[in-house]
Amino acid sequence: MESTLEERRQSETPRSEIVVARGLERTFGTGEAQVRALEGVDVAFERSRYTSIMGPSGSGKSTLMHILAGLDRPTAGTVEIDGVEITGLDDGELTELRRDKLGFVFQFFNLLPVLTAEENILLPLSIARRKPDREWVDLLIDRVGLDDRRTHRPSELSGGQQQRVAVARALVTKPAVLFADEPTGNLDSKSSDDVLRLLRAAVDEFDQTVVMVTHEPDAAAHGDRLIALRDGHLVHDAPPVSADAVIELLKTLA
């Protein structure tokens, strides 16, 4: 009898690498219209670290994140998240893993307009039919600076406040990994800095793992590690150092 997803999780021993990808390939289209978005990418992400992923348009960075997060399936290769090989999961198991193990923050906030800020934050728990840890929820809401906005709906919040709701929503389940796809791409500089500081605090204070795709050098410099892709290949993997150093790196990739 095949083991259940939960049994597979419990059989694995904890290790430093929370996400491991081997030989990732992703091809779109056929014939002359075929595009090879990823070509043999091997990469791993350690627990409790903040990694930024960059690259020119069409480099494969968003494709890589979507495959790592189980939002897309690779043409070839494997991905493990917290000891579970996700590329072999069926749709139901993959949905369960994303719900229980992953948090997501996107460029567009994806909040439900009919729910208050607090209800949006609690939504992942409501879907999973899990009782909120009120102490943790209150701490999160306070940490993202929205204690006085709990009952406000998205239309009553600024863009920066909506993204802070999205960050709190991503963290409320205490995920194994938080994936952020251009989380500051729709924000002004002050709101961007607020969100980036929150992601940094999620790692430093809450022991989370953050993997972020961004095209902004200032955003990338908040991380512990910078990965860069070009034409579907991983071509850089090192600490980001500074925004100026990131800009120089991007010039070499263009």
* DSSP 8-state symbol, 253: H
**Residue 83, domain member (yes or no):** no
Residues of the chain with pLDDT > 70, as a percent, come to 94
Residues of the chain with pLDDT > 90, as a percent, come to 46
**Count of domains for the chain:** 1
Q: Phi-psi category of 48—alpha, beta or left, where left has phi over 0 and alpha has psi -120 to 50? A: left
For the chain, give the mean pLDDT.
87
**Residue 142, domain member (yes or no):** yes
**Residue 15, domain member (yes or no):** no
**Residue 30, domain member (yes or no):** no
* Other C-beta atoms lying within 10 Å of the C-beta of residue 75: 13
> What pLDDT was estimated at residue 2?
43
**Residue 246, domain member (yes or no):** yes
Buried b (16+ CB within 10 A) or exposed e, 44-68: ebebebbbbbbbeeebbbbbbbbbb
Quick check: 72 pLDDT over 60? yes
Domain CATH number, residue 144? 3.40.50.300
**Residue 36, domain member (yes or no):** no
> What pLDDT was estimated at residue 3?
47
**Phi then psi for 161, rounded to 5 degrees?**
-65, -40
> What pLDDT was estimated at residue 35?
87
- Listed residue (72, 76, 67, 61) closest to 24, CA to CA: 76
Alpha-carbon gap, residue 87 to 92, rounded angstroms: 12
> What pLDDT was estimated at residue 12?
45
Domain of 168, in residue numbers: 48-62+90-253
**Residue 243, domain member (yes or no):** yes
Quick check: 233 pLDDT over 90? yes
Burial bucket for residue 26 (CB in 10 Å: 0-12, 13-18, 19+): buried
> What pLDDT was estimated at residue 10?
44
SS3 at position 235: strand
* Other C-beta atoms lying within 10 Å of the C-beta of residue 40: 14
Quick check: 231 pLDDT over 80? yes
Quick check: 19 pLDDT over 90? yes
Note the pLDDT tens digit of each residue in 39-64.
Answer: 999 999 999 999 999 988 889 999 99
- Residue 1: pLDDT band with limits 50, 70, 90: very low
- Residue 15: pLDDT band with limits 50, 70, 90: low
Q: Which range, 70-74, 193-197, 238-242, is most confident?
A: 70-74
* Other C-beta atoms lying within 10 Å of the C-beta of residue 250: 17
**Residue 125, domain member (yes or no):** yes
